Amino acid sequence: MDGVVLALGQGFNGLSVASLYLLAALGLALSFGLMRVINMAHGELLMLGGYIAYLVMKAVPGTAGLLLALPAAFAGSALLGAAIEATLIRRLAARPLDTLLATWGLSLILQQAARNIFGPIGVEVRAPAWMNTAVAVGPLSFATTRILILALSVVLLAGLALLLTRTRIGLLVRAVNQDRMMAAAVGVDVRRVDMVMFALGSGVAGLAGVALGLLGPVTPTVGQSYIVPAFLVVVMGGLGSITGSTVAAIILGVFTAMVQIFVDVSVAQVLMLLLVIAFIQVRPQGVLAPRTRALDA
C-alpha cells in the first residue's frame, strides 16, 4: 500500500517535472522544426522570465502580481528571443553547429550579466500566500503551485495546438515546416514565420521561467538545470513535433521521478540519458516524425 502511495506521489511529481521540461522545450522544438537550429541561450530566456517575475511580484505583491508577471515575462523573453533571432541565428541559419556555439557564447554573457545585476545567489519570487498550500487526496498531498504549473502547460499546449491548426500563421508554420523551399517559392515570407515563431517560443520559455521562480530561487544558472533535459526532449520528440515533444517530456519526467524512488538524483540523470540513447536505438526518428521521402529529414 505504501509502495502504491509512493509511486502515485512520484507519478505526480514526474508529471510536474514533465510540464517544466515541456515548457522549456516547446520553444526549442518549434524553431528546430522550422530552422533546424537550436538556441543554446534558450535557458537564459527561462532565467529572464524568472527575474521578470521576481521584479514584478516585488512591485505588485499577491495574485495581481502573478497575473501581471506572466504576460510581462512572456513579452520580455519574446523580445529578447526576437533580438537573438534577428542578430545571430538568421546570420548562421545554414550552419546549425555554428549556431550552437555562437548562442552558447551569448548564454555565457547573459548568465554573467545576471550575476552582475542580481548577484550570484538566487532571489526569491514571493508567491501569493494561497499558493503555498497543498491539496490532500487521501494519503497523498499535491502542492498547489505544481498543480497550477501543470494547468498552465496544458492551457499553453492547447493554445499552441489551436494556433498551429486553426490560424493563418499556423498554416504558414506548417507549410515551412514541411518544405521550406516550396513554401518560399509560393510566396510565404519564411523569414517572418521564423521570427514570429522564434519570438513565440522564447515567450513560452519566459512563462516557464515564472514557473521555475514559483518553485525555487531564481539564480543566474537556473535555466541551465532545465535546459539539458529540454534538449533531450527535443531529440526524443522528433523534428520539432509538438505532440512528439509532449510525449517525450512526459516519458522523461515520469521516468526520472520513478527511478528516484530507488536511486539518487544524479544517477537518475545518467539513467535518463541512457533511456534516450536506448530510445533512439528503437526509434531514431523520434516519438513522432512526419512521413517523408526526403533523405535528410
Partner 1 sequence: MTRPALIAMVLAVAAAAVLPFLLGSYDLNLIARFMALGILALGLVLLWGETGILSLGQGVYFGLGGYALAMHLKLSGLGPGEIPDFMVWSGVKTLPWWWQPFENPAVALIGVVAIPGLVAGLFAWMVFHRRVGGTYFALITQALALAFATLLISQQATTGGFNGLTEFPTLFGIDLNTLGAIRGLYWITLAALVGAALLLALLRASRFGTLLRAVRDGENRMRFLGYDPTPYKVAAFTVAAMLAGLSGALFTLHAGVVSPALVGVVPSIEMVIWVAIGGRHSLVGAIVAALLVNLARDRISSALPELWLYALGALFIVVVTLMPRGLAGIGQDLMARLMRKGAAQ
Residues contributing to the site for partner 1 (CB under 8 A):
32, 36-38, 88, 91-92, 95-98, 100-102, 104-109, 111-112, 115-116, 224, 228, 231-232, 234-235, 264-267, 269-270, 273, 276-277, 280-281, 284, 295-296
User: Closest separation between CB of residue 208 and partner 1, Å?
Assistant: 18
User: Closest separation between CB of residue 107 and partner 1, Å?
Assistant: 8
User: Closest separation between CB of residue 158 and partner 1, Å?
Assistant: 28
Asked if 104 and 210 count as a contact pair (C-beta separation under 8 A), the reply is: no
Q: Which is nearer to partner 1, 83 or 280 (CB)?
A: 280
User: Closest separation between CB of residue 186 and partner 1, Å?
Assistant: 26
User: Closest separation between CB of residue 244 and partner 1, Å?
Assistant: 13
Q: Which is nearer to partner 1, 161 or 275 (CB)?
A: 275
Q: Which is nearer to partner 1, 31 or 145 (CB)?
A: 31
194 CB-side CA count, 13 A: 23
Q: Which is nearer to partner 1, 62 or 96 (CB)?
A: 96
Q: Which is nearer to partner 1, 84 or 125 (CB)?
A: 84
Q: Which is nearer to partner 1, 117 or 136 (CB)?
A: 117
User: Closest separation between CB of residue 199 and partner 1, Å?
Assistant: 20
Asked if 237 and 288 count as a contact pair (C-beta separation under 8 A), the reply is: yes
Which residue in 263, 257, 196, 264 sits closest to 229, CA to CA? 257
Q: Which is nearer to partner 1, 166 or 293 (CB)?
A: 293
User: Closest separation between CB of residue 115 and partner 1, Å?
Assistant: 8
* Nearest-angstrom CA–CA distance, 245 and 232: 10
Can you point out the beta strands (E) in the chain? 134-137, 140-143
Mapped onto helix, strand or coil, the DSSP state of residue 137 is strand
The 10 Å Cβ neighbour count of residue 114 is 23
Looking at beta carbons, which pairs linking 114-120 to residues 24 or more positions away fall under 8 Å? 114/44, 114/47, 114/51, 114/220, 115/220, 118/51, 118/54, 118/218, 118/220, 120/219, 120/220
User: Nearest-5° angle of CA 263, CA 50, CA 140?
Assistant: 45
* Nearest-angstrom CA–CA distance, 203 and 78: 4
